[in-house]
Amino acid sequence: MKSKLLVATLFGVGLSFGCVSEQHDVTLTANLKETGPLLHKDIYGQFAEHLGRGIYEGIYVGPDSDIPNTKGFRNDVLNALRAIKVPLVRWPGGCFADEYHWRDGIGDPDKRPVKVNTHWGGVEETNAVGTHEIFDFIELLGADAYINGNLGSGSVREMAEWVEYMTSDKNSTLANERRKNGREEPWDIAYFGIGNESWGCGGHMSPEYYVDLYNQYATFIKTPPGKKPKLVGSGGHTEDTEWTDVLSANIERNMSGISYHFYTLPNSDWQNKGHATEFNNDDWFATMERTYRMDDYLKANIAKLDKNDPEGKIGLYVDEWGTWYDPEPGREPGFLYQQNTLRDAVVTAVNFNLFNKYAERVHMTNIAQMVNVLQAMVLTDGADMLVTPTYHVFGMYKVFQDATAIPFTIDSDVYQHGEKQLPAVTASLAKGTDGHVYLALVNLDPENEASIALNFSNANFSKLTGELLTHDAMTAKNTFEHKEVVKPVSFSASLSDLTLPAKSVLVGRLQ
Active site residues: 197, 320
**Cα three-residue angle 352-453-422, rounded to 5 degrees:** 45
User: Which of 341, 366 has the CB closer to ligand AHR?
Assistant: 366
**Side chain identity, residue 31:** N
CB 347 to ligand AHR: min, Å: 15
Give Cβ neighbours of residue 311 (< 8 Å, ≥ 6 apart).
Answer: none
In the chain, % helix, strand, coil (3-state, to 5) comes to: 25, 30, 45
Q: Which is nearer to ligand AHR, 368 or 500 (CB)?
A: 368
Q: Which is nearer to ligand AHR, 94 or 229 (CB)?
A: 94
Q: Which of 93, 105, 195, 203 touches ligand AHR by CB under 6 A?
A: 93
Q: Is 409 left (phi over 0), alpha (psi -120 to 50) or beta?
A: beta
Dihedral over alpha carbons 194, 199, 202, 205 (to 10 degrees) = 90
Q: Are 447 and 465 in contact (CB under 8 A)?
A: no
Q: Which residue number, 323 or 448, has a Cβ lying nearer to ligand AHR? A: 323
Q: How far apart are the C-alpha atoms of 453 and 496, rounded to whole Å?
A: 7
DSSP annotation of 340 reads -
Task: Looking at residues 363 to 392 of the shown chain, list those that interact with ligand AHR (rule: CB under 6 A).
Answer: 368-369, 374
Binding to ligand AHR in span 124-183, by CB under 6 A: none
DSSP secondary-structure letter at 182? T
- How far is Cα 468 from Cα 493, in angstroms, rounded to an integer? 11
Is 403 one of the binding residues for ligand AHR (CB under 6 A)?
no
What is the contact mask toward ligand AHR in residues 195 to 214, using x (rule: CB under 6 A)? -xx-----------------
Range in contact with ligand AHR (rule: CB under 6 A) among 90-98, 149-157, 264-272, 277-285: 90-98
Q: Tell the smallest beta-carbon distance from residue 111 to ligand AHR (Å).
A: 27
Of 54, 154, 141, which Cα lies nearest the Cα of 102? Answer: 154
**Residue 53 or 417 with smaller CB distance to ligand AHR:** 53
Our finding on whether 245 is near ligand AHR (CB under 6 A) is no
Least distance to ligand AHR from the beta carbon of 299, Å? 22
Q: Which residue is nearest to ligand AHR (CB)?
A: 94
Subset of residues 15 to 54 that bind ligand AHR, contact rule: CB under 6 A: 49
Among residues 374 and 422, whose Cβ is nearest to ligand AHR?
Answer: 374
Min separation Cβ 368 and ligand AHR, Å: 4
Q: Which is nearer to ligand AHR, 224 or 333 (CB)?
A: 333
Cβ proximity to ligand AHR, 43 vs 374, nearer residue: 374
What secondary structure letter does DSSP report for 237? B
Question: Could you tell me the smallest distance in angstroms from the CB atom of residue 448 to ligand AHR?
Answer: 34
AA letter at 38: L
Instruction: Show the site string, 286-325: x = touches ligand AHR by CB under 6 A, - = not.
Output: ----------------------------------x-----
How far is residue 401's CA from residue 41's CA, in Å, rounded to a whole number?
4
Does 95 participate in binding ligand AHR (rule CB under 6 A)?
A: yes
Amino acid at position 380, single letter: T
What minimum distance in Å lies between the beta carbon of 246 and ligand AHR?
A: 19
- In the complex, the smallest distance separating the C-beta of residue 243 from ligand AHR, rounded to whole angstroms, is 14
Q: How many CB atoms lie within 10 A of CB 170?
A: 11
Q: Which of 94, 195, 257, 389 binds ligand AHR (CB under 6 A)?
A: 94
Q: Is 345:469 a contact under the CB 8 Å cutoff?
A: yes
Is 344 a residue that touches ligand AHR (CB under 6 A)? no
CB atoms inside a 10 Å sphere around CB 157:
9
Q: Residue 131's closest CA among 153, 118, 148?
A: 148
Residues 412, 414: Cα–Cα separation, whole Å? 6
* Interaction residues for ligand AHR, span 436-455 (CB under 6 A): none
- Shortest CB 51 distance to ligand AHR, Å: 6
- Measured CA to CA, the distance from residue 346 to residue 185 in angstroms comes to 42
Task: Enumerate binding residues for ligand AHR (CB under 6 A).
Answer: 49, 93-95, 196-197, 320, 368-369, 374
